[in-house]
A and B are shown apart, each in its own frame.
Chain A
Amino acid sequence: MADPDVIAQLMARCALRDQRAFGQLYRHTSAKLYGVALRILRRGDWAEEVLQESYVNIWNHVEEYSAARSAPMTWMTAIVRNRALDWLRRPRFEHGSEDYDLLVEAVPDEAQGPEALLALGRDARALAECLKQLSGNQRQSITLAYLHGLSHGELAQHMREPLGTVKTWIRRGLERLKTCMETT
């Protein structure tokens, strides 16, 4: 992964319509963002489509980045995530729960969850520690929603629990996560 300062500088040049800087930005970030899109969409052709839309969006709105006051990768990742979620939720692409059961079982690597994060930076460790303090159901519903873009309804079907229960896990889990991360 490239240095966040390098990414921020390239983005500043993109704001001045420097297309060469945009090419470098793409080279530094596209593998990461394609990985994020693939994880949510599970299909290469969809992920390519979303990646393309996302970079056009990044180019067109890059001057808004400095107002976002977030890390450059977080800003770009949010664009990709939003595009991917929009794509997933177009009515004709609705999945049945069976698809998701298969999908989720087919990707054991991310099921490692908190442990995999321990090897990473300080922020990641804080998140991993706090995820561990949630109940198993809270942790599972939050990570499945984030990593694979599952909706409340899809989570309820996948976890075989009533919709209201899943919604409560997520809401309480997020509250606890925030409290925990503010104190570590």
Chain B
Amino acid sequence: MKYRNDQIREALAAEYALGTLQGAARRRFERSLKEDPALRRLVTQWQERLAPLDEAARPVAPPARVWRAIQQRVAPASRWNSVGFWRGIALVSTTAAVLLAVSLLTLAPRRETMVVVMSDAQSRPAITVSWQPRQLGDKRLRVRVIGHQTMDPETAWELWMLPPGDRKPVSLGLITTHETQTVVVPAQLQEAIDSAQALAMSIEPEGGSPTGLPSGPVLYQGQCTKL
């Protein structure tokens, strides 16, 4: 259902944010929100306007059992996206995939190489990325897409690096579905990428994330390994 009249849209957005839009009207409004970005913006504006009222709410530490219950519900049955994954616990399949990646590389012998095997949620290797650490100037990532993969129309694949510590992800640019490709590392990231903890790939709108941070689902990820 579309709300065409501006005054009605504004009034509904306000009462939705206030909490007085209820029952069937609230559910209908929520359905419209999903497909109407302008309406979502009106709601966001109202939420921001009223938000200072929450600043007066007294913070109360919730009992510890709440966090335990949340953890149980978000922790995956498999280990692929557990904390350990990011902190360096190697998966058996990753080891196998690293060997696969090494076999895919055509490198001068005895040179150090950074290798990332990015896997999907089932730990199946999907993309390998490798580069020469400590090489500055013309630094390139060799990207290999495993198997024949397709990208949905009007989307883009964006590659991200996760710096060490708790800093936010940094974009390395867009990649394609081509089996072999190279990505030129932006000058300001040439040193930082050698100490990256992990790489990830997210699905973004055409042209890449509008926000500078991953905004779509993360399809593949993998930790950086020095060989």
Interface residues of A (CB under 8 A from B): 1, 8-10, 12-13, 15-24, 26, 30-32, 34-36, 38-39, 47-48, 51-52, 55-56, 59-60, 63, 66-71, 73-74, 77-78, 81, 85, 89, 109-110, 112, 116-117, 120-121, 123-124, 127-128, 142-143, 145-147, 149, 151-152, 155, 170-171, 174-175, 177-178, 181
Q: Which residues of B contact A55 (CB under 8 A)?
A: 70, 74
In angstroms, Cα B17 to Cα A12, docked, is 25
Which partner residue on chain A sits nearest B198 by CB separation? A16
Which partner residue on chain B sits nearest A6 by CB separation? B166
CB distance from B184 to the nearest CB of A (A): 23
Tell whether, in the assembled complex, residue B166 and residue A174 are in contact, meaning their CB atoms are under 8 Å apart.
Answer: no
CB distance from A130 to the nearest CB of B (A): 9
Other than the known A17-B218, A18-B86, A175-B11, what 7 A-B pairs have Cβ atoms closer than 8 Å? A13-B162, A15-B215, A30-B67, A34-B59, A56-B70, A77-B51, A117-B55
CB distance from A59 to the nearest CB of B (A): 5
In angstroms, Cα B55 to Cα A145, docked, is 16
Q: Which residues of B contact A22 (CB under 8 A)?
A: 74
Tell whether, in the assembled complex, residue A13 and residue B166 are in contact, meaning their CB atoms are under 8 Å apart.
Answer: yes
Tell whether, in the assembled complex, residue B70 and residue A52 are in contact, meaning their CB atoms are under 8 Å apart.
Answer: yes
Tell whether, in the assembled complex, residue A70 and residue B19 are in contact, meaning their CB atoms are under 8 Å apart.
Answer: no
* Contact residue among A19, A85, A143, A177 (Cβ-Cβ distance under 8 Å from B82): A19
Which partner residue on chain A sits nearest B68 by CB separation? A52
Tell whether, in the assembled complex, residue B14 and residue A174 are in contact, meaning their CB atoms are under 8 Å apart.
Answer: yes
Tell whether, in the assembled complex, residue A13 and residue B59 are in contact, meaning their CB atoms are under 8 Å apart.
Answer: no
Q: Which residues of B contact A26 (CB under 8 A)?
A: 67, 70
Q: Which residues of A contact B96 (CB under 8 A)?
A: none
Tell whether, in the assembled complex, residue B53 and residue A146 are in contact, meaning their CB atoms are under 8 Å apart.
Answer: yes
Task: Given A34-B61, A63-B215, verify A16-B160 contact (CB < 8 Å).
Answer: yes
Q: Which residues of A contact B160 (CB under 8 A)?
A: 16
- Give a binary string over B152-188; 1 marks a CB under 8 Å from any A CB, 0 the rest: 0000000010100011110000000000000000000
CB distance from A50 to the nearest CB of B (A): 10
Task: Given A19-B82, A121-B52, verify A34-B62 contact (CB < 8 Å).
Answer: yes
Tell whether, in the assembled complex, residue A34 and residue B60 are in contact, meaning their CB atoms are under 8 Å apart.
Answer: yes
Tell whether, in the assembled complex, residue A48 and residue B52 are in contact, meaning their CB atoms are under 8 Å apart.
Answer: no
Q: Which of the four size classes fits the interface of chain B?
A: 35 or more
Tell whether, in the assembled complex, residue B52 and residue A123 are in contact, meaning their CB atoms are under 8 Å apart.
Answer: yes
Task: Given A16-B200, A56-B74, verify A77-B52 contact (CB < 8 Å).
Answer: no
B93 within 8 A of A: no
In angstroms, Cα B50 to Cα A143, docked, is 9
In angstroms, Cα B63 to Cα A64, docked, is 28
Task: Given A19-B74, A32-B59, verify A146-B50 contact (CB < 8 Å).
Answer: yes
Q: Which residues of B contact A175 (CB under 8 A)?
A: 11
* CB-based closest 9 A-B pairs: A124-B52, A31-B59, A66-B211, A17-B81, A34-B62, A174-B14, A35-B57, A9-B168, A12-B213
B49 within 8 A of A: yes
Which partner residue on chain B sits nearest A170 by CB separation? B20
* Contact residue among A71, A89, A116, A149 (Cβ-Cβ distance under 8 Å from B51): A71
Tell whether, in the assembled complex, residue B218 and residue A16 are in contact, meaning their CB atoms are under 8 Å apart.
Answer: yes
Task: Given A9-B166, A34-B61, A56-B73, verify A70-B44 contact (CB < 8 Å).
Answer: yes
